[in-house]
Amino acid sequence: MPKIFFLPHKIILPKGAVFDSKTGETILHVGLRNNVKIEHACEQSCACSTCHCIIRKGFHSLSGWSEKEDDILDKAWGLESKSRLSCQAIIGNVDVVVEIPLYSVNYTGES
C-alpha cells in the first residue's frame, strides 16, 4: 500500500503528514479523506488550478496527464516541471511526496 507524504504547509498542514493510500486513488481524495483542506474550487472536474501540487518524489509512478490538465496547469501559481492537479494525479504503487504550494490562483482560505 503506497503512502503519501504531504510536506509541511504553513496554513493547512503545519507539521506535514503521512497517509496510506490505495492504488487508483487521486492525491486530492487521499488528502480530503484525511482532513487535509486542499483547495478544489471546481469539485475535481479539471476546470481550475486550485488543487495544484508539486510532486517531490514518485512523479513517474502517477497516472499520465491529459492535454486538458496540462492547459489548466498553465494557470497555476508556482508551476514547476513536476506539477500536477491533485484531482487528476492517480496514485500507482510507489510512495509519493507532495508539496502543496502556499498560494493558489483562487485561494480563499483564511490564515
Q: What integer best gives the mean pLDDT of the chain?
A: 92
Candidates 3.10.20.30, 3.30.428.10, 3.40.50.460, 3.30.300.30; CATH matching 3-99: 3.10.20.30
**Mean pLDDT of the 74-96 span:** 95
Q: Quick one: 64 exposed, middle or buried, by C-beta within 10 A (0-12, 13-18, 19+)?
A: exposed
pTM above 0.85, yes or no: yes
